[in-house]
Structure 1
């Protein structure tokens, strides 16, 4: 054997450059993939933030007047009580006053409805719904079933789909 055959194969300088170039290319590809992943995550975060801000804006628009609406409910109740408190014998003599109070109540109701406030008006005989009603008392009443509304003290109100104030009711406690 000649000396050339027994010697270990020599690595040519250009072969080293190719493997260093391939290694550098792999590093750049890995870096590119990492940056692409980070970019996609940042993009997703930005989209989520945009959606959350839009949802918050809509919610503020729909429910931002909750405190004001709650503060107006006693005015509504008092106008209703004023109309109900007038005795029958005085109604004719107080017709103009009654009409003025009724018009004020109607205008208040229209404004509240325009802004998404709607009444929850249960009737005697309806079933008690704890999502919409607040039981103020429970009493047995002949001819009723347990859980039926036997008296309505005040109307409740919804602001769009949220309960603003439950209707205050009396509920039958009959067991059969």
Structure 2
């Protein structure tokens, strides 16, 4: 082989290697870009899965909120019916009263089974705006400002969410 042919072959080989290196670098860049896109899509899919699971759990726990709120007046009315019966009539209406008490107890059990619990403050407890609704404020000797002096209706929680605040009267007596 002549020197000219050898030089020509070397130039061709260098051009081929340069072209090959450029192609290889382009392929690596494309691979890295595709890997990055894949990782982003994978992370988005995982986030969507977690969000769907969280939404499913929340719907399971709190999906019955409207029904639960609609049942609270039934509880209140049964409770009021029992409280309205005069003591002298209790003996005469024993079976009826027992039926209403059983119905109220069953309603309370069903509500408890579904995560509905009572918020039952007592007179003397401290007012908590997260759980109680102040219906009136009045000075009452022997109490401190912010103490509950009367409970008008019980409140209810659905798991950890407030369905209805307990309606209370609060002392305004300065401490």
Structure 1 counterpart of 2:33: 34
Is 1:131 the equivalent of 2:146? no
Structure 1 counterpart of 2:74: 75
Deviation at 1:81, TM superposition (A): 0.1
Gaps of 5+ in 2: none
Return 93-102 or 62-71, whichever deviates more: 93-102
Gaps of 5+ in 1: none
Q: After TM superposition, list the pairs within 5 Å mapping 1:1-12 onto structure 2.
A: 12=11
Structure 1 counterpart of 2:166: 167
Superposed CA RMSD: 1.3
Give the TM-score normalised by the residue count of structure 1: 0.94
Deviation at 1:53, TM superposition (A): 0.2
Structure 2 counterpart of 1:152: 151
Structure 2 counterpart of 1:117: 116
Number of positions where the alignment pairs a residue of Structure 1 with one of Structure 2:
169
Q: After TM superposition, list the pairs within 5 Å mapping 1:30-109 onto structure 2.
A: 30-109=29-108
d(CA) in 2 for partners of 1:124 and 1:94?
Answer: 31
d(CA) in 2 for partners of 1:175 and 1:69?
Answer: 38
Deviation at 1:143, TM superposition (A): 0.4
Is 1:140 the equivalent of 2:139? yes
Deviation at 1:95, TM superposition (A): 1.1
